[in-house]
């Protein structure tokens, strides 16, 4: 072999292997609005915390409910779950958990039942601002047996009675003083945001060692992690909100991989694979990812269901998904994915019909006006603000296509995009949007959408901005169905209740369904063991299985 050929081979081998075999740099499109496990719902936060934190229970890549921090999942069959009568005479359930041995926070402090009790106390406080406050309201008592064993007393029996993934433990020894100083401002003072490199906040394979707000989070191995040793000494998560720049950084070797749920949109990934498939592995994973447009229902324009229906009838979603996504992202007619076994097969649909859209707008009092924009009897234009995550090339393209389709029926849509951490932190979390907001909900299998549809889950100052019902949707029928679905243990009867809920959603349209996403995960060919779940649980919850191969 000539010296020139030997040099070329050496350079090729260097390009094919990671710059440092024990380091990994991951690119995502969003920076977390908070790093607190129980405040705000954001995929970027879940992805990062998968490296540093673990839920009590979750769903794995096979969509099975599993324990992550406990020795055994409580069930009626193994005797760890038992029915009981609550103090109010209701039918409840007691769940006996035992924490796995050798669980430590990153400063060497053991994870104990005291952390469970403290987390419950924070969650139950009406002003703490936790996202799933409903879970904590249902836990009427936490009974401590010893440092590792505790019993959760729940005030009802549900079909998913042992799913407590939203009980994300907080380190009492680090957070209690902060919380007790002023619970109402706790969400703004938590050490997860004011001192994120505090090792006592981590219990996973990694701990955070550096944060550049809006840009990057650096993590190193947690010396007190007693599970399987992760392959990488350090991991850096970089937030690159512009997807074109994200792709450029991958090709330049500045990042090693792109996380699918927070990465390149499908159209961009398909084009990327055609050009660079020999260098990278691209996996397309359909999942429970519902791309939609939340509507601000107390906006007088959107309060009229005829307008909401007209907005959906004006959209050719079949054409959109076919031309932009190669037909790989099915049109949504409601919040439940075709992959979920409880999807109702005969829902009301609103196929593309611009003539019907115009007729509904006329019926609602919106007449054609100057410049083709409809106006009401007071001369006010039919104009709506439209927001999504700035820098996401695919979403911005979809936004422009939808804007043109609505313009064709006389609706003036004004695009006002924001960085993801702003949109998900303040704009949605505190309901500061005025019209429409396009984003995705990621759910778990047969997930009851209480937090996004129940009238008690509308974020308000008086509840510490808890809840995810950003639309402000309120329907007594839906509230009753959400309660009934959870309590119905017979699968066939539950299926009937699910159908009724999905039918009301499809008719009332508190949000405009667009499509169900297939996420494109892009990995270097030297990385194996990454297993996307297709649902709410991020791949990083199993980072210790990732490995470098020759």
Domain at 109, CATH number: 3.90.76.10
User: Does 47 reside within a domain?
Assistant: yes
pLDDT 10s digits, 179-193: 999 999 999 999 999
User: Does 4 reside within a domain?
Assistant: no
pLDDT at 168 over 80: yes
Residue 350: pLDDT band with limits 50, 70, 90: very high
Residue 40: pLDDT band with limits 50, 70, 90: confident
User: Does 452 reside within a domain?
Assistant: yes
pLDDT at 18 over 60: no
- Do residue 171 and residue 229 come from a single domain? no
Residue 188 confidence (pLDDT): 92
Burial (0-12, 13-18, 19+ Cβ within 10 Å), 477? exposed
Three-class secondary structure of residue 514 per DSSP? strand
User: Does 6 reside within a domain?
Assistant: no
Residue 536 confidence (pLDDT): 87
Q: How many CB atoms lie within 10 A of CB 241?
A: 19
User: Does 122 reside within a domain?
Assistant: yes
- What share of the chain in percent tops pLDDT 90? 84
Mean of the per-residue pLDDT values of the chain: 93
Domain at 462, CATH number: 3.10.105.10
In the chain, the number of structural domains is: 3
Residue 311: pLDDT band with limits 50, 70, 90: very high
How far apart (Å, rounded) are the C-alpha atoms in residues 279 and 526? 10
- Do residue 79 and residue 47 come from a single domain? no
Q: What does the pLDDT average to over 391-410?
A: 94
Q: Which is more confidently placed, 265 or 235? A: 235
pLDDT 10s digits, 100-111: 999 999 999 999
Residue 425 confidence (pLDDT): 82
- Do residue 365 and residue 297 come from a single domain? yes
Residue 403 confidence (pLDDT): 98
Residue 392 confidence (pLDDT): 85
Residue 13 confidence (pLDDT): 37
pLDDT at 1 over 70: no
pLDDT 10s digits, 403-414: 999 999 999 999
Three-class secondary structure of residue 177 per DSSP? helix
User: Does 2 reside within a domain?
Assistant: no
- Do residue 198 and residue 248 come from a single domain? yes
Residue 465 confidence (pLDDT): 87
pLDDT 10s digits, 369-381: 999 999 999 999 9
Residue 56 confidence (pLDDT): 96
β strands within 41-138, DSSP E: 57-59, 65-67, 81-85, 91-98
* Contact between residue 186 and residue 130 where contact means Cβ atoms under 8 Å apart: no
- Do residue 215 and residue 295 come from a single domain? no
* Contact between residue 60 and residue 532 where contact means Cβ atoms under 8 Å apart: no
- Do residue 205 and residue 153 come from a single domain? no
Residue 305 confidence (pLDDT): 98
Q: What does the pLDDT average to over 245-261?
A: 95
- Do residue 153 and residue 183 come from a single domain? no
User: Does 3 reside within a domain?
Assistant: no
How many residues appear in the chain?
A: 550
Q: How many CB atoms lie within 10 A of CB 355?
A: 9
- Do residue 281 and residue 339 come from a single domain? no
Domain finish residue from 144, 175, 206: 175
Domain at 523, CATH number: 3.40.190.10
Residue 2: pLDDT band with limits 50, 70, 90: very low
Domain coverage including residue 378: 288-517
- Do residue 182 and residue 264 come from a single domain? yes
Among positive and negative, which fits the CA dihedral 246, 248, 253, 259? positive
- Do residue 267 and residue 394 come from a single domain? no
- Do residue 439 and residue 539 come from a single domain? no
- Do residue 312 and residue 401 come from a single domain? yes
DSSP state of 4: H
**Helix axis angle, 491-508 relative to 305-313, nearest 10°?**
90
What token pair was written down for 482?
Answer: 């959400």
Q: What does the pLDDT average to over 368-393?
A: 95
How far apart (Å, rounded) are the C-alpha atoms in residues 414 and 348? 29
Q: What does the pLDDT average to over 350-363?
A: 98
């Amino acid at each position: 072999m000539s010296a020139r050929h030997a040099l070329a081979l050496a350079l090729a081998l260097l390009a094919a292997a990671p710059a440092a075999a024990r380091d990994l740099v991951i690119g995502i499109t969003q920076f977390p609005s908070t790093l607190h496990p129980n405040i705000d719902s954001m995929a970027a936060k879940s992805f990062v915390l998968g490296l540093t934190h673990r839920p009590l229970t979750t769903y794995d890549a096979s969509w099975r409910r599993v324990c992550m921090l406990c020795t055994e999942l409580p069930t009626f069959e193994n005797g760890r779950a038992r029915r009981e009568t609550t103090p109010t005479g209701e039918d409840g359930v007691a769940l006996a958990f035992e924490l796995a041995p050798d669980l430590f926070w990153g400063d060497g402090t053991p994870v104990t039942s005291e952390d469970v009790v403290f987390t419950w106390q924070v969650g139950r406080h009406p002003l703490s601002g936790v996202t799933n406050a409903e879970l904590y309201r249902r836990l009427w008592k936490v009974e401590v047996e010893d440092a590792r064993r505790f019993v959760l007393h729940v005030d009802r029996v549900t079909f998913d009675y042992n799913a407590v993934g939203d009980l994300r433990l907080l380190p009492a020894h680090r957070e209690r003083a902060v919380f007790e100083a002023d619970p109402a401002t706790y969400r703004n003072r938590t050490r997860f945001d004011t001192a994120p490199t505090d090792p006592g906040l981590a219990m996973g394979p990694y701990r955070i060692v550096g944060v550049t707000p809006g840009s990057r989070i650096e993590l190193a191995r947690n010396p007190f992690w007693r599970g399987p040793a992760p392959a990488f000494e350090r991991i850096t998560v970089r937030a690159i909100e512009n997807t074109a720049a994200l792709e450029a950084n991958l090709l330049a070797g500045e990042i090693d991989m792109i996380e699918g749920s927070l990465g390149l949109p499908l159209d961009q990934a398909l084009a990327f694979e055609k050009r660079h498939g020999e260098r990278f592995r691209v996996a397309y994973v359909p999942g429970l990812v519902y791309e939609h447009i939340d509507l601000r229902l107390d906006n007088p324009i959107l309060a009229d269901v005829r307008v909401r229906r007209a907005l959906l009838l004006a959209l050719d979603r079949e054409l959109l998904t076919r031309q932009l996504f190669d037909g790989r992202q099915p049109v949504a007619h409601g919040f439940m994915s075709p992959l979920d076994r409880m999807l109702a097969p005969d829902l009301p649909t609103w196929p593309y019909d611009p003539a019907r859209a115009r007729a509904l707008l006329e019926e609602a009092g919106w007449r054609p006006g100057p410049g083709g924009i409809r106006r009401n009897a007071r001369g006010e234009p039919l104009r709506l603000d439209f927001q999504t995550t700035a820098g996401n090339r695919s979403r911005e393209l979809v936004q422009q296509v939808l804007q043109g389709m609505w313009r064709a029926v006389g609706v003036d849509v004004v695009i006002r995009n924001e960085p993801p951490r702003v949109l998900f932190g303040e704009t949605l979390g505190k309901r500061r949007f005025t019209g429409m907001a396009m984003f995705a909900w990621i759910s778990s299998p047969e997930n009851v959408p209480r937090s996004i549809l129940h009238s008690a889950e509308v974020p308000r100052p008086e509840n510490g901005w808890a809840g995810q019902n950003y639309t402000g949707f309120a329907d007594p029928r839906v509230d009753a169905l959400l309660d009934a679905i959870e309590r119905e243990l017979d699968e066939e009867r539950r299926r009937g209740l699910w159908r009724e809920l999905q039918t009301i959603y499809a008719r009332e349209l508190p949000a405009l369904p667009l499509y169900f996403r297939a996420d494109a995960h892009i990995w270097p060919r030297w990385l194996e063991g990454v297993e996307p779940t297709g649902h709410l649980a991020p791949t990083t919850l199993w980072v210790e299985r990732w490995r470098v191969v020759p």
